[in-house]
Structure 1
Amino acid sequence: MSALEAAAESRIDPITAAVIQGALENVAIEMGYKLMRMSYSSIIRESEDFGAALTDPEGNQLCECKLSTPLQSGPIPGYIRGIRKILAARGEKIRPGDVIMHNDAYAGASHGPDVAFIVPVFIGQTLAAFSATTAHHLDIGAATPGSAGIVEAVDAYAEGLQFKALKIIDEGQWNRPLWQMVRDNIRASDLVVGDMEAQIKAAEIGAERFRGLVDQFGLEAIAAASAAQMDYSERLMRDAIRGLPDGVYAAETIYDGYLDDPSPSRKNLPIKVAVTVEGDEITVDLTGTAPQVPDRPINMPFVGTVDCAIWLTLRSILLDSAIYGEIPQNAGLTRPIRIVAPLGCLANPIFPAPTIARFTPGNAIADTLMHALAAAVPKQVSAGIGNLRVVSFSGLKDGRHWVHMEILEGSYGGRFGMDGMDAVDTLYANTRNNPIEDIESHLPIRVEDYELRPEPPAAGAWRGGMGSVRSFTLLSDGAFSIEGDGHGTAPWGFAGGAPGKPGTLTLRRADGSEKPLPSKVAYHEARTGDRIVTLGPNGGGYGDPMKRDPQAVLDDVLDGLIDAATALTVYGVAIEDGRVDAMRTARLRAEAA
């Protein structure tokens, strides 16, 4: 019996439990800040594409860093269970002083570039916890440079190096040959290995701080507090589920896949979600989702991507922090949730199907789940989101590789009482943008445009969010690759709201010619002066546009989001001399009713 299981039978007062939980969360936050400050790459330092968490010995999450993206911290329990299973199969023991490196997408990792470094925390000879960091690395030794846009990988081996529960530090001793092998097989190795070393140190700091809490409170009290907090989180989730009408709620999304591919098995792929609510439990069934694509990397690890997309969406909808305030983020939240995905589908692939470009289909699962739940809780969901795109730039300078990754924003749909958020990462991403000054001071790239899309946002009682326009000019010969989605299907409007606008990508060559690009672009050479122009999707509108507050319509006109003619024809709002003509507006809306 673990300390946590034993603690479940003991009692602890709620104030002490809350104090200990707050101390644990502060440890995770400190790990995150230290990792950001020590990192070399902008994807960690600026975009915050990392995770930090503490778990119990079985992998139950105790806390996570709130700075990090859910798609990094959320999978950490899966990493822990994956390494324990692999090490047990190899007959290896976890010992004090070990640091374990892991990125196996079929054993808990979200995908190959998200490498975890895991430090077991021993109190004496007792394994008491794990301290873990994850981060997205800019190159992982794949067939082409960069770790984004490896969209033509034919299997897991083509996606880069696979670290399957490897002890990079074994009982305090560095595994130098393994570390050298990593360095020798990764482009921009100083950058990437520097980030990995930062992860190790941040995880070691987490382990040290956990031992300090044990000295302060005692291991039994920490275990009892964690058990109590997990039970509390579980009760909150069960109460929220119990408030839903029992029934089955379904929705379907068509995922782009490879729109320029002649094979129908690689494009316009259905993602289906059926949500069954029964009492205080929920089942999310993905049966009917397209079969896995065996030779393209848009398959999603069931553990590490699919489960996190579903857990995060349910938690966001049912336990909105704006209403519930701070809720302990731990394993208790997921106990009432069951996920079903047939083996061999996009959402539960079979090794060695490639998975490195799993990001956008996972976001599509989250969006489809939200669409399904709209029938049950229409005031708690947004209309369709604009999916994200990730572009990787690379090149050689003085014989050395440089690599850069940009996460290109999408947008949210409108929701009850609120317009959709403009130009933001959506759903399970939550990363920040890279400052232009940081990009241009470190890389041979000039940022030409960074603004909102000029087209009107999707109409609704609450309008859809607007995507961004971003364009990048290469200042030296190099290459780019892109993984994205949302070019073939517009984000869905809800309850009378208009659908959003799909995204676009264009290559404007230095000679003045233009080439439209699909949502997924494999390694593509580019010359000095070539420009990549990206338009992020606009989210869907929510509710009947004729019910939009006339003052909000006027504000949109004054802000230049729509013109007076659109206000009149779409919203039934008459604007004269910069003011709403209330009488004419009332007449127009009455005639349209």
Structure 2
Amino acid sequence: MSQNLTATAAAAPTRVDPVTGAVIQGALENIAIEMGHKLMRMSYSSIIRESEDFGTALTDATGRQMCECKMSTPLQSGPIPGYVRGILKQMETRGETLRPGDVIMHNDPYGGASHGPDVGFAVPVFLGEELIGFSVTTAHHLDIGASTPGSTGIVDAVDAYAEGLQFKAIKVVDAGRRNEAVWSILRDNIRASALVVGDMEAQVQTAQIGAERFLALVNQYSLKTVMDAFEDLLDYSERLMRDAIAALPDGEYAARTFIDGFLDDADAARKDLPIAVTLKVAGDSITVDLTGTAPQIPDRPINMPLVGTVDISIWLTLRSILLDSVTYGSIPQNEGLIRPITIVAPRGTLANPIFPAPVIARFCPGNALADTVMKALSQAVPQQVSAGIGNLRVVAFSGMEEGKQWVHMEILEGSYGGRYGSDGMDAVDTLFANTRNNPIEDIESHLPIRVDRYELRNDATAAGRNRGGIGTVREFTFLADGAFSVEGDGHKYRPWGYDGGEDGHTASLKLLHKAGGETDLVSKVPYHKIKAGDHLVSRGPSGGGYGNPRERDPASVLFDVLEGLVSSEAAEKDYGVAISAGQVDAARTAQLRSA
């Protein structure tokens, strides 16, 4: 942490001494981290066990986040305060009360949850008869009882009811007693229920462990000391964010990007959809205005819940750029970070839909929103952003084997744009995702799918002083009849280049038929049957370039050529670097660049 920030923190009055506060902060974070490890170890499905698409956190009794598991997905841990507030509101509406031993299940996307497949389980923590907080786990589940198999690629859902089962603050354990009727409903209405219900039970156990650890911490230090330390941590995180915002020049910074929408749809209102962001910086606070974003699509599920998706997209981007961990180190991840940020999102738009507009495929537009926030912020802090990101896509594979339904979810990674002083990262999940890739061995060991290719694309690199990250080629072969569905974006609009950098490269999907022929697919594919021997080929997007390509170090261009990522012809055309016999031709390069 820089000296000025340390001085600022030291000068501020605190409720507990700094040493005790630091110890309590570490204890809270370790509880969330332990919860994350326990959940991964107990889970059945690869989306949690391998990809880490889950969240764990503690909140106070009102839902203010105290800590989160930093190795989990921001789009899972970040929305947890919204889950808790949605639970509290729903229970108040029904006149229900919380009791020791309760476990609450919640996945209402209009009540704080990110979308229906991200199911939260909350354990209220009591000290005697006093509610003092919540221990919460969230996770993405392979199926949630939607109209077609899987919990991704439900891109033709016409309303929220078509997206699967909805749980609004349901007690799955009531004062220590399991509500077996609810568990029966889950097993009877969810495909691959052994996996999904097993994951849910792992979440319950994990949340109970977190509650026990939190209560032990309170008993060790006293409730007052722990909560006073928490208030100090909130104030500290808020000061860090306000100092970072205050360092920005006051003013307005606007950006506009587009998402594919449904490119094969005859209705023009469902495709080529704008996302608009205006950042209004005033002193040590910032307003993020989304006026100008496309109207909601009432019968297609790419709308984004304001609470749980839009807010997390914005907060994460601002936090990551303004409080970069390289400069600031580890800072407390709590609600204090969002206090200086105000979001304006007109109702009835993609960024603030009205129930029952469907939202299950909200991920890709949410990631595009984060990218647009970064593009706007590039005008104020050009050396702290990347060029445009290559968005992700998610595919759900499914089929029947020996009379049982199987479902698998695969995240097709994207890439980052080039950055100041560094190339874009290749083949990674971007912005608010950060899930891990699923090992090929895991896929092939228990699914009728073979992975024939998993490699970086050739000649799909956006030129720049710092080149854009490179997308992947993935090829899946189906060993049995089945089906797949896809939610994605980035097949039409190229990731933006910055300061003379080249725009990135779009993604593509192609189905190769065993019987012959091939079919080009758009970025959103509803449930699509396939035959054994068919191949699905994905080419991931490449991020935008950063800076003038003619300023790139020729040695770096040579390295990319030798690695097979850039052709000699592209090196000469895009970078002005001549390669001959595996070496840089310095004279020819000087001639090209001077021209």
The interval holding the TM-score normalised by the smaller chain is: over 0.9
Once the two structures are overlaid, the 10-residue window that deviates more, 415-424 or 10-19, is 10-19
Alignment partner of 1:435 is 2:435:
no
How many Å apart are 1:455 and its aligned residue?
2.0
The amino acid across from 2:208 in the alignment is E
Identical pairs, percent:
69
Give deviations 1:151-194, integer Å, cap 9, x for gaps: 00000000000000000111111111111011100011111000
The 5 A counterparts of 1:95-174 are 95-174=99-178
Distance 1:85 1:66 in 2: 28
How many Å apart are 1:71 and its aligned residue?
0.2
Is contact 2:466–2:547 with CA below 8 Å preserved after alignment? Answer: yes
Distance 1:133 1:531 in 2: 36
The amino acid across from 1:187 in the alignment is R
The 5 A counterparts of 1:366-515 are 366-515=370-519
Gaps of 5+ in 2: 1-11
Distance 1:477 1:9 in 2: 66
Q: TM-score, normalised by structure 2?
A: 0.97
The 5 A counterparts of 1:68-79 are 68-79=72-83
Corresponding residue of 1:4: none
Corresponding residue of 1:239: 243
- 3-state SS of 1:169 partner: strand
- 3-state SS of 1:77 partner: helix
Distance 1:257 1:456 in 2: 23
- 3-state SS of 1:570 partner: helix
Alignment partner of 1:21 is 2:25:
yes
How much is the aligned-residue C-alpha RMSD, in angstroms? Answer: 1.1
Distance 1:106 1:575 in 2: 57
- 3-state SS of 1:430 partner: coil
How many Å apart are 1:556 and its aligned residue?
1.2
Pairs aligned (count): 584
How many Å apart are 1:530 and its aligned residue?
1.0
How many Å apart are 1:575 and its aligned residue?
2.8
Corresponding residue of 1:588: 592
Give deviations 1:524-566, integer Å, cap 9, x for gaps: 0011111110000010000000111111111111211112232
Alignment partner of 1:272 is 2:276:
yes
Is contact 2:32–2:57 with CA below 8 Å preserved after alignment? Answer: yes
How many Å apart are 1:362 and its aligned residue?
0.2
The amino acid across from 1:210 in the alignment is F
- 3-state SS of 2:66 partner: strand
Distance 1:187 1:588 in 2: 60
Distance 1:251 1:285 in 2: 11
Distance 1:466 1:569 in 2: 19
Distance 2:563 2:517 in 1: 33
Corresponding residue of 1:357: 361
The amino acid across from 1:83 in the alignment is I
Distance 1:520 1:64 in 2: 32
How many Å apart are 1:217 and its aligned residue?
1.3
How many Å apart are 1:356 and its aligned residue?
0.2
Alignment partner of 1:252 is 2:256:
yes
Distance 1:553 1:501 in 2: 18
How many Å apart are 1:317 and its aligned residue?
0.7
Alignment partner of 1:223 is 2:227:
yes
How many Å apart are 1:432 and its aligned residue?
0.4
Corresponding residue of 1:539: 543
- 3-state SS of 1:344 partner: coil
The amino acid across from 1:541 in the alignment is G
How many Å apart are 1:569 and its aligned residue?
2.3
How many Å apart are 1:10 and its aligned residue?
6.9
The amino acid across from 1:224 in the alignment is D
Alignment partner of 1:186 is 2:162:
no
Corresponding residue of 2:578: 574
Alignment partner of 1:563 is 2:567:
yes
Distance 1:222 1:463 in 2: 47
The amino acid across from 2:348 in the alignment is G
The amino acid across from 2:504 in the alignment is G
Distance 2:456 2:568 in 1: 19
Give deviations 1:124-145, integer Å, cap 9, x for gaps: 1111110000000000000000
Give deviations 1:337-359, integer Å, cap 9, x for gaps: 00010000000000000000000
Is contact 2:460–2:505 with CA below 8 Å preserved after alignment? Answer: no
Q: TM-score, normalised by structure 1?
A: 0.97
- 3-state SS of 1:317 partner: helix
Distance 2:530 2:451 in 1: 16
Distance 1:401 1:228 in 2: 50
Give deviations 1:357-410, integer Å, cap 9, x for gaps: 000000010000101111111101100000000000001111110000000000
Alignment partner of 1:524 is 2:528:
yes
Instruction: Give 2:95's match in structure 1, choosing from 91, 107, 120.
Output: 91
Corresponding residue of 1:303: 307
Give deviations 1:482-510, integer Å, cap 9, x for gaps: 00000010000000000011100001111
Give deviations 1:393-444, integer Å, cap 9, x for gaps: 0011111100000000000000100100000000000000100000000111
Distance 1:298 1:576 in 2: 49
Distance 1:325 1:144 in 2: 44
Corresponding residue of 1:209: 213
How many Å apart are 1:583 and its aligned residue?
4.1
Give deviations 1:572-593, integer Å, cap 9, x for gaps: 22333333333443343222xx
